[in-house]
Chain A
């Protein structure tokens, strides 16, 4: 345990306390931090124009993206358990996008969904469907990110598949004898049996939404046509703050505006939200701690 305890102290406890301390100071990384009370806190909550949009985006992602991902993951997991022929090939094809590195996948999706000439809109146009602006339209950028998240649903497919195969066969047989149809069997047998896994998928999804960083940042930058690389300034969250998330604010405040004190306030908000969801996870699912506790 002890090396980990050192790691814990050095990489978690100490920096967390420092973050708390810096949040009450004006600090630019050059001059010594000077105490300024709750100034940073009130700035973030009342005047910082990017804070509430980022919070709203996070709530959107939690409500829509997480729900879609869990529902779709469950659907694909169910489908895979029903496929009789070539199941190995299907499973592999459904799983592979999950492995695509996020930056590469995001770049690819900005290209695939580009409004003028992208293959997605070319296909949609060919079958007479509307062709949205996706990553260049504030109303469509989060749905576009959701499409990207659904493409990488392979992890959820695998855990749902395993859970579905674990449901005792006898329960289905008994229900069938009682005359229960497919829908009734799903509601009264499948769902109760896999509900701990659904809860797990929801809460880990929420925590991922809290940490959502590389995809919205890269999507925003690439769609805005910002040249990447060091020291590039750009208004984050293109288009119109719609892809802004809380982790991006920490980076923007701390590493682009060198306002470490204010960045630490946002970091602590992120911490509080993540821990609240973690607590929820532990309560909803005592099983996470596992046997013998």
Chain B
């Protein structure tokens, strides 16, 4: 073998060894979570890494814990309805910001970016007082869902970045053919923007799925309105020493996200790339 060939082989081995080491770091936590979720109560408190007996019943126990199904339903409602409202309200705004020239366009864009960067805690107190005292809806998920109907800054920004990549010629052609703005948006822009919309919808869905602060503020005093993220932490409290059940619950909360990822990998990666690279 030539020196060059040997070097290439060593390089291949080195890179892949490093890859396997990194893979262990990323995968082992999942493996230990799964293994612990299948241990008995007492074994989960020991240093054992491998279950003695495989307690598949742990999953049934978690699933049948009072409240668990309610948290699922609430999370789906919050994430599903919230995502729908976000997409419907954000697309037109993003379209206007990407393709129309109007006064204060630059300022509008700066405001969108500023809102995107704003920690939710900055305005939470007046918002909470409004929902709790003015409209008396605290203890429900509505204070989290309703604002989504007014556009979400991050989604607007992401969609705008995507719409910028659609050449103006398509829009001009539609207008020449006599399409109004609304028809141009529906017939020309929307079909071309599908990957961007899919990415935004997924982001928004997971944002709501993962949200902890919102439900903590608005739903914490009413367990019937808890979501998975918020309920999961209290689950650990209710099953104080039962790491096996807690890890089974953790698996049940992680699983839908990971399953959805395998169905929509492209949209995910597209969305992440959009935030950073195509700026």
Point out the residue from A3, A93, A271 that lies within 8 Å of B23, measured CB to CB. Answer: A93
Stretch at the interface among B55-63, B108-116, B178-186, B188-196: B108-116
Complex Cα distance A100/B127, Å?
Answer: 29
Instruction: Decide: B121 and A158 in contact? CB cutoff 8 A.
Output: no
A14-22, A138-146, A184-192 - interface stretch? A14-22
Given A3-B150, A7-B147, A99-B258: A288 in contact with B121 (beta carbons within 8 A): no
A222 neighbours in B (Cβ, 8 Å): 233, 236
Does any Cβ of A come within 8 Å of B217's Cβ?
Answer: yes
B164 touches A291 (CB 8 A): yes
Minimum Cβ distance to chain B for residue A220 (Å): 11
**A283 to B125, alpha carbons, bound, how many Å?**
31
B19–A83 contact, CB under 8 A? yes
Give residues of chain B (70-121) contacting chain A, Cβ–Cβ below 8 Å: 89-90, 92-93, 96-97, 102, 106, 108-111, 113-115, 117-121
Residues of A within 8 A of B96 (CB): 1
- Report A143-161 residues with CB < 8 Å from chain B CB: 151, 155, 158-159
> A residues within 8 A CB of B93?
1, 3-4
Q: A109-B29, A112-B29, A159-B277 are in contact. Are A3 and B89 (CB under 8 A)?
A: yes
A192 to chain B, nearest CB (A): 16
Q: How large is the interface on B (under 10, 10 to 19, 20 to 34, 35 or more residues)?
A: 35 or more
Q: Which residues of chain B have C-beta atoms less than 8 A from A217's C-beta?
A: 212
On chain A, the residues within 8 Å of B130 by CB distance are 15
**Selected contact of B257 from candidates A85, A100, A211, CB within 8 Å:** A100
Taking the complex as formed, is B66 at the interface, i.e. its CB lies under 8 A from any CB of chain A?
no
A101 at the interface (CB under 8 A from B): yes
> Please, which residues of chain B bring their CB within 8 A of the CB of A211?
119-121
Complex contact B27–A287 (CB within 8 A): no
Q: B126 near A277 (CB under 8 angstroms)?
A: no
Contact A271 B122 (CB under 8 A): yes
Measured between beta carbons, the chain B residues less than 8 angstroms from A268 are: 122
Q: Quick check: B164 and A101 within 8 Å, CB to CB?
A: no
A64 interface residue (CB < 8 Å to B): no
The residue of chain A having its C-beta at the shortest distance from the C-beta of B114 within the complex is A278
Give A250's nearest chain B residue, CB to CB: B121
B237 interface residue (CB < 8 Å to A): yes
Which B residues are in CB contact (< 8 Å) with A12? 111, 115, 118, 123
Chain A residues closer than 8 Å to B12, beta-carbon distance: 84-85
Instruction: Please tell me if A225 contacts chain B, counting CB pairs below 8 Å.
Output: yes
Known: A270-B121, A291-B164. A112 touches B23 (CB 8 A): no
A251-285 near B? 1/0 per residue, CB < 8 Å: 10011000010011001101100110110011001
User: A277: which B residues are within 8 A, CB to CB?
Assistant: 117
Interface residues of B in 209-264 (CB under 8 A from A): 209-210, 212-213, 216-217, 220-221, 223, 228-230, 232-238, 240, 243, 246-247, 250, 253-254, 257-258, 261
Stretch in A38-46, A226-234, A235-243 touching the partner = A226-234
Chain B residues with Cβ below 8 Å from A19 are 122-123, 125-126
From B133, B254, B272, give the contact of A101 (CB < 8 A): B254
Per-residue 0/1 for B152-165: is the Cβ within 8 Å of any A Cβ (1 yes, 0 no)? 00001000110010
A292 smallest CB distance to B (angstroms): 8
Please report the C-alpha to C-alpha distance between residue A267 and residue B213 in the assembled complex, in whole angstroms: 14
Q: How far is the CB of A252 from chain B (nearest CB, A)?
A: 11
**Nearest CB in chain B to that of A288: its residue:** B279
Closest to A155 in B: B272
Within residues 196 to 243 of chain A, which ones have a CB less than 8 A from any CB in chain B?
196-197, 200-201, 204, 207, 210-211, 213-214, 217-218, 221-222, 225-231
- Offer 23 A-B interface pairs, CB within 8 angstroms, sorted by A: A3-B93, A4-B151, A8-B115, A11-B147, A15-B126, A19-B122, A19-B125, A84-B16, A90-B19, A93-B26, A99-B261, A107-B246, A107-B250, A108-B29, A117-B45, A151-B26, A196-B279, A200-B276, A227-B240, A247-B119, A275-B117, A278-B117, A289-B106
The 10 A-B pairs with the shortest beta carbon distances in the complex, nearest first, are A7-B150, A159-B276, A228-B234, A227-B237, A18-B126, A15-B123, A15-B126, A214-B212, A4-B151, A228-B237
A interface with B by C-beta (< 8 Å): 1, 3-4, 6-8, 10-12, 14-16, 18-19, 22, 29, 76, 79, 82-85, 90, 92-97, 99-105, 107-109, 111-112, 116-117, 119, 122, 151, 155, 158-159, 162-163, 166, 196-197, 200-201, 204, 207, 210-211, 213-214, 217-218, 221-222, 225-231, 246-247, 250-251, 254-255, 260, 263-264, 267-268, 270-271, 274-275, 277-278, 281-282, 285, 287-293
Chain B residues within CB distance 8 Å of chain A: 12, 15-16, 18-19, 22-23, 25-30, 32-33, 36, 45-47, 49, 89-90, 92-93, 96-97, 102, 106, 108-111, 113-115, 117-130, 133, 147, 149-151, 156, 160-161, 164, 206, 209-210, 212-213, 216-217, 220-221, 223, 228-230, 232-238, 240, 243, 246-247, 250, 253-254, 257-258, 261, 265, 268-269, 272-273, 275-277, 279
